[in-house]
Amino acid sequence: MSSDLLTLNSPTWGEPDHGAGDRLTAALGADVIVRRVEHRGELTLDVAVDQLVAVCTLLRDAEGYDLLSDVTGVDYLGYQGEVAGYWGGGSAGRDLNRSASAGKGAVPEAAGPKRFSVSTTLCKVMTVTDGNHRRLRVRVWVDEGEPVPSLVSVYPSADFHEREAFDLLGIPFAGHPNLRRILMPEDWGGHPQRKDYPLGGEPVQFSDEV
- Over residues 69-83, the pLDDT tens digits come to 999 999 988 776 655
Nearest in space to 72 (alpha carbons), one of 112, 116, 114, 119: 119
Q: In what order do the strands lie in the sheet with 67-75?
A: 33-39, 42-47, 134-142, 116-124, 67-75
Q: What is the dihedral of CA 168, 156, 61, 137, to 10 degrees?
A: 20
153 Cβ neighbours under 8 A, 6+ residues apart: 53, 175
Please say if the pLDDT value at position 151 is more than 70: yes
Position 112 confidence tier, pLDDT thresholds 50, 70, 90: confident
pLDDT tens digits, one per residue of 59-72? 999 999 999 999 99
Cα separation, 108 vs 64, in Å, equals 36
210 Cβ neighbours under 8 A, 6+ residues apart: 203, 204
For residue 142, the one-letter residue type is V
27 Cβ neighbours under 8 A, 6+ residues apart: 58, 62
193 Cβ neighbours under 8 A, 6+ residues apart: 73, 75, 168, 169
Look at strands 33-39 and 42-47 and give their pairing: antiparallel
Please say if the pLDDT value at position 105 is more than 90: no
Percent of the chain's residues with pLDDT above 90 = 63
Please say if the pLDDT value at position 171 is more than 80: yes
Please say if the pLDDT value at position 91 is more than 90: no
**Three-class SS state of 182:** coil
The per-residue pLDDT for 94 is: 52
Q: Is the Cα dihedral 161, 166, 168, 169 positive or negative?
A: positive
Compute φ and ψ for 57, nearest 5 degrees. Answer: -65, -45
Q: Is the Cα dihedral 59, 60, 66, 70 positive or negative?
A: positive
Q: What average pLDDT does range 31-41 have in this prediction?
A: 91
Looking at the domain covering 12-76+114-185, what would its CATH class be? alpha beta
